[in-house]
Amino acid sequence: MKTSLFSFTLLLTLQYSLAQPPAQSPAPSGPTNITGILEKAGQFNTFLRLLKSTQEVDQINTQLNNSNQGVTLFAPPDNAFATLKSGTLNFLTDQQKVELVQFHVLPSFISIAQFQTVSNPLRTQAGNANNGQFPLNVTTSGTQVNVTTGVVDTTVANIIYTDGNLAIYQVNKVLLPLEIFGDPAPANAPKPQKGSSTRSSADSPSDDSSDDTSSATGLIKQAASFVVLAAIGIFYL
Ligand SMILES: *[C@@H]1O[C@H](CO)[C@@H](O)[C@H](O)[C@H]1NC(C)=O
Ligand SMILES: *[C@@H]1O[C@H](CO)[C@@H](O)[C@H](O)[C@H]1NC(C)=O
Ligand SMILES: *[C@@H]1O[C@H](CO)[C@@H](O)[C@H](O)[C@H]1NC(C)=O
Ligand SMILES: *[C@@H]1O[C@H](CO)[C@@H](O)[C@H](O)[C@H]1NC(C)=O
C-alpha cells in the first residue's frame, strides 16, 4: 500500500513536472523561431511535423544562430502533401524522411532577387556535406521563381518570412528529390527497404499494400499505448 501510494505520488509529480515548462528567463529577442513562424502562417502542419520528427528544426535553428550564411526554407503547405500519392511519406525510411526535409533547406539566405543570379544546381542541406548530392534548380522570370527537382516543377507562391538571414518561401508542391523518387539507376538506386526488393522499376513511390499495412500497424500501436495508459489510470484510481 505504501509502495503504491509512493508510486502514485511519483506519477503525479512526474505528470506535474511534465506539464510545467522548465522555468526560463524570458528571452524575447532570442534566435528566430521557425516553428513559431510556420505555426502562425497556418497550413503547414504536415511540414512542421516532419521538421520536428526529423529534428531538422533544431538543426536549422542552430545553423541560424551559429552561421552568418543564413538559411532558406521551401515550405509546402498541407494541401501539397495531400496531393502526394497515398503512402508516399510512409514508404520512406527514416533516413529518407530526413533527406526529404533537408532537400527543402538551402544552407544560405537567398532573396527572391538573388535567385535570378544563382547558378544551378543549388546545393541543398540533404545528402552528405558539399558533394552536390540532392541538388535542385531554379529558373526565374522577374520575381517569379520556379523550382525543379527533376521529379517535380513548382513555383514560389508566397514569401512567408524574410529577414535577411532566414527566408521561408511557400512552394506549391512538395519537392521530391530525384535521388529518392527518380527512376532507380543501377549505380545509385535508393536502398531497398526490407521486404520491398520486388518493387518494380516504376518510380511510383506508393506501394499501397505495404503502406496500408504500416499505417494499420501504427493505429494498432496507438491503440495499444492508449490501452496501457488507460490501464495505468484505472490502476491508480
Ligand atoms: C517557438 O515557438 C513555438 C510556438 O510558438 C513554441 O512552442 C516554442 O517553444 C518556441 N521555441 C523557442 C526555442 O522559442
Ligand atoms: C547561439 O550562439 C551563441 C554564440 O555563438 C551561443 O552562445 C548560444 O548558445 C547559441 N544558442 C543556441 C540556442 O544555439
Ligand atoms: C514557371 O512555371 C510556370 C508554370 O509551369 C511557367 O508558365 C513559366 O514559364 C515558368 N517560368 C520560368 C521562368 O521558368
Ligand atoms: C539543373 O541544372 C544543371 C546545370 O544547368 C543541369 O545540368 C541539370 O540537368 C539541371 N537539372 C534539372 C533537374 O533541371
In whole angstroms, what is the distance from residue 191 CA to residue 15 CA?
Answer: 41
CATH of the domain at 163: 2.30.180.10
The reply to whether ligand 3 has any atom less than 6 angstroms from the CB of 155 is yes
Beta pairing class for 105-106 and 144-148: unpaired
pLDDT score at 183:
64
Q: Which three cell numbers stand for residue 43?
A: 497550413
**C-alpha 84, offset from chain centre:** 15
Flag whether 70 is in a domain.
yes
* Residue with CA at minimum distance from ligand 3 atom 14: 139
C-alpha of residue 97 to centroid of ligand 2, in Å = 27
C-alpha of residue 68 to centroid of ligand 2, in Å = 13
Flag whether 168 is in a domain.
yes
**C-alpha 32, offset from chain centre:** 18
Judge if the upstream peptide bond of residue 205 is cis by omega within 30 degrees of 0.
Answer: no
C-alpha of residue 32 to centroid of ligand 2, in Å = 12
Determine the residue type at 19.
A
Flag whether 175 is in a domain.
yes
In whole angstroms, what is the distance from residue 130 CA to residue 82 CA?
Answer: 32
- Name the band, by pLDDT with cuts 50, 70 and 90, for residue 213: very low
Choose between 22 and 184: higher pLDDT.
184
Choose between 27 and 77: higher pLDDT.
77
Q: What is the extent of the structural domain holding 86?
A: 34-181
Flag whether 134 is in a domain.
yes
Order of strands, edge to edge, in the sheet holding 105-106?
Answer: 105-106, 71-75, 166-171, 153-162, 144-148, 137-141
Specify the residue for cell string 484505472. 234
**C-alpha 27, offset from chain centre:** 26
Number of domains comprising the chain: 1
pLDDT score at 33:
87
The reply to whether ligand 2 has any atom less than 6 angstroms from the CB of 62 is yes
Supply angle C-alpha 168, 50, 84, rounded to 5.
90
Flag whether 51 is in a domain.
yes
Contact 169, 183 (CB under 8 A): no
pLDDT score at 9:
40
Q: Is the model's pLDDT at 168 over the cut of 60? A: yes
The reply to whether ligand 4 has any atom less than 6 angstroms from the CB of 150 is yes
Q: Is the model's pLDDT at 166 over the cut of 70? A: yes
Adjacent-strand bridge partners of 137: 148
pLDDT score at 76:
98
Nearest ligand to residue 137 Cα: 4
- The secondary structure of residue 21, as a DSSP letter, is P
Beta pairing class for 71-75 and 166-171: parallel
Q: Indicate the top mutation candidate among 118, 145, 147, 155 to test ligand 3's pocket, ranked by most ligand atoms within 8 A of CB.
A: 155
Determine the residue type at 41.
A
Range from 30-34, 56-60, 128-132, 142-146 carrying the lowest mean pLDDT: 128-132
pTM above 0.85, yes or no: no
Instruction: Note the pLDDT tens digit of each residue in 61-92.
Output: 988 988 889 999 999 999 999 999 988 898 89
pLDDT score at 141:
92
pLDDT score at 30:
59
Flag whether 219 is in a domain.
no
Flag whether 94 is in a domain.
yes
Instruction: Give the up-direction half-sphere exposure of residue 66: CA atoms within 13 A in the CB hemisphere.
Output: 6
Q: According to the per-residue pLDDT averaged within each range, which of 9-18, 29-38, 49-58, 191-200 is highest?
A: 49-58
pLDDT score at 134:
87
Flag whether 7 is in a domain.
no
